Each structure stands twice: as C-alpha cells, then as structure tokens.
Structure 1
Amino acid sequence: MVFLRSDTAAKLCVVDHYPSDRFTFSSHGYDLHIENELVADAFAGLSVQEQSILILHFVLDLPDQEVGRLVGMSRSAVQRRRAKSLTELRIKLAALMPNGG
C-alpha cells in the first residue's frame, strides 16, 4: 500500500472552481459560498434572519452577543435560533441523504 503526502497528492490533480458552481448567501456584506446543491437548498430554506445568524457566526466567527447586536436580538435568542437552525439543516440533509451522502 502506498501513502501519498497531502502536498504530493495535491499535485496529482487539478480541480477547477467556477463561480457558477457555487451558491452564495450574504449577510451584512459578508458571503457564504456553498458548492453542494443539496446543502445550498437546505440553507435557502432557512429564514433570512437564520441565514444571517449562521453566516455571521461561522464566516466571521462572531460571538452571539455581537451577532445579536447586528440582527437586533438578545445573545440568548441568537444562541437558541442558531441551535434550532442547525438542527433544521441536519434534519433536512439527513432526509435528502439517508445513506450519508
């Protein structure tokens, strides 16, 4: 069995990425790019406010208090909404990919 170092493996193939191959969601001037269509569809099913909370948290790595200030919610409301949104995404994706994708 042969194992390739990651830098060697990276030189063995080329993957082209085009803007049309991804879906872009924006909040407060920041973008989240999703390449998987199923994930993008599930994310698009969230409310704009839920999308904003996830983008601000995961793209900018902002704490809940700062996210709350930007979206007009309390820190605890942001935390609850983020947890609810992530659970909703997991359920949607599990239904679309019952065997793990």
Structure 2
Amino acid sequence: MQSLLILITQAIQLYIWVIIISAVLSWLIAFNVINTQNRFVYTVVDILYRLTEPALRPIRRILPDLGGIDISPVVLLLLLYFVQNLIWEIYGSYAASF
C-alpha cells in the first residue's frame, strides 16, 4: 500500500513541476524573452498547455477576474499540496490502526 502512495505522491510532485514550468514559460513569453515562432518552443508550450489547462480551466471559472493577473496556478499548487498531505495523513491514521 505504501508503494502505491509513494507513486501517487511522485506523480503529484511531477505535475507540480509541470505547472511551475508552464507558469515561468508563460511569463517569459509575455516579456518576449522566448519567441514562440521557434518550432521547439511552440511544441513545448503546447504540451505544457495541454497538460495544465484541464486542471486550471475550472479554477479560472470560479476565481474572480483580477485584471490580467492569473492566480489559478497558485490555487492549483495549493490544492495539490493539500491533497498530497491529506493522502499521507489518511495513510498514517490507517497504518496506526493496525
């Protein structure tokens, strides 16, 4: 059971890094540091968008408009950290009962 929890935790950690990289790339594109005309950059940005957008879209619908500031990645990161800690707390209480 612990191996499954470790796998889930590692998957959450990997997705957290994908969100962070996606946010940083969006800032670099917004400030014209990275050019999306480059095919490799476009492919990386597209892959990251496809990985993060299904989780960010519902959060963006709930959050109020903050005038160009997108805090949905921060909210998603907090939710993922919460779920990760919740998994280990539940496992800890489950393991302690035996």
TM-score by length of 1: 0.36
The higher-RCO structure (CA 8 Å, 6+ apart) is 2
Task: Give me the TM-score of the superposition, normalised by structure 2.
Answer: 0.37
Q: Normalized per residue, which structure has more strand?
A: 1
